[in-house]
Amino acid sequence: KNEVEQSPQNLTAQEGEFITINCSYSVGISALHWLQQHPGGGIVSLFMLSSGKKKHGRLIATINIQEKHSSLHITASHPRDSAVYICAVSGGGNQFYFGTGTSLTVIP
């Protein structure tokens, strides 16, 4: 069983659509991270959450600690948002648990 589950695995959207990617985890955490990986590219950190909600431009991330669930929302999606989005959790120690990622394609 994976400690971190993401859904959907793959997502195709039309430009301008509102997108939601979900992350559920089964371990106690101190922080949850959303990461972005462009095709053939490196991995960049988008958000770190320990509670509540964060917003950066068109990206919004929320976390519900009681339900062990986080969502990443993209408003007014654009083709440049096409990437793999990865959820990762840390339990306060040195290790992280990673989801397998959600591959997003935004069509013009």
Partner 1 sequence: NAGVTQTPKFQVLKTGQSMTLQCAQDMNHNSMYWYRQDPGMGLRLIYYSASEGTTDKGEVPNGYNVSRLNKREFSLRLESAAPSQTSVYFCASRNRGRDEKLFFGSGTQLSVL
Contact window for partner 1 (CB under 8 A) among 11-19, 20-28, 35-43, 65-73: 35-43
Provide the CA 18 distance to its chain's centre, in angstroms: 14
Shortest distance, CB of residue 92 to partner 1, whole angstroms? 10
Site string for partner 1, 64-93 (x = CB under 8 A): ----------------------x-x-x---
77: which residues sit within 8 A by CB, 6+ positions away?
A: 13, 14, 15, 16, 17, 18, 19, 58, 106
26: which residues sit within 8 A by CB, 6+ positions away?
A: 1, 3, 4, 68
DSSP letter (8 states) at residue 59? E
> Does 26 participate in binding partner 1 (rule CB under 8 A)?
no
> Does 41 participate in binding partner 1 (rule CB under 8 A)?
yes
- For partner 1, the binding residues (CB under 8 A) are 2, 4, 31, 33, 35, 41-45, 48, 86, 88, 90, 94-101
